[in-house]
Amino acid sequence: MTGTQREATAEAAGSRGRRWATVATRRFGRRLAITDLTAAVHARTMGDGADVVIVPGLAVSAYLYETQERLAALGRVHLLELPGVAGGRDVPGTPTLRDDAAAVTEWLRTRLRRPAIVVGHSYGTQVAVRTAAADDTFVAGLVLASPTVDPRYRSLRRLLWAWRADARTHPEGLVEVNRPQQRRAGLGRVCAMGVSMLADAPERWLAQVAVPLTVMVGSRDALGTEAWGRRLTDRPNGRYVRVEGGTHTFPFECPEALVRTVRVDMGKDTEQ
């Protein structure tokens, strides 16, 4: 079997997995009130100047604290903690990706006075993309770090395999940083996020987005591929950044890589 055939087989399996995940996502319950969702978002804000909004990964945010602190030298940086996650308040029901995107969209509309660079990492990239597709009025540009879910991993079996491979690359200290917030979110919230991210197709939402886009993928990312990242940036105003030696969690182990990229997108530095 050729590489192209293997990729086609993986994407076909991913398509079937996405259909299953779509059905499973519907079982998490009713659509939640946008006012409750938005009020539940907690923004950890620091710095002054142009706005940068960070949407973190699956049910955690503390691993991005150092990245936020470094970015605060460039502008006013908001690290959003989603409903039921970290400092985010609990809401009735179990929010999914759709709910998180709705909450972030409304948060941008009601809390910002000017467009911001919106940075997503992992699960947060899917939230960021759907946010920009819903309303890009307050989105000056998107930075997607370690975007999910690569089409070849859009089945539960393949995604779990990739997560196990990713766990073997975790830098020292990451598990200890993430564990308290994962426990606070609870298994139900984590599962709702995980299943709904499988049901999503970010490339379809990106087709509705016109703002500048930067995609960053680590050369050792077990959950994403360079081919996937380059496919996303094959568009006007698209830019691909390869993070040499970076894993899926490169913003934790190498925050300066993300800071350099955001600096360029803010117009504060020359092209990388």
Cis peptide before 85 (omega within 30 of 0): no
Q: What is the pLDDT of residues 243-267, one digit of tens each?
A: 999 999 999 999 999 999 999 999 8
Q: Kindly indicate the confidence band of residue 7, based on its pLDDT and cuts at 50, 70 and 90.
A: very low
Q: What is the pLDDT of residues 167-206, one digit of tens each?
A: 888 888 998 999 999 999 999 999 999 999 999 999 999 9
Domains of the chain: 3-264 (3.40.50.1820)
Q: What is the pLDDT of residues 36-72, one digit of tens each?
A: 999 999 999 999 999 999 999 999 999 999 999 999 9
Average pLDDT, the chain: 90
pTM of the model as a whole: 0.88
What's the pLDDT score for residue 9? 46
Instruction: State the average pLDDT over residues 108-117.
Output: 97
Instruction: State the average pLDDT over residues 79-92.
Output: 96
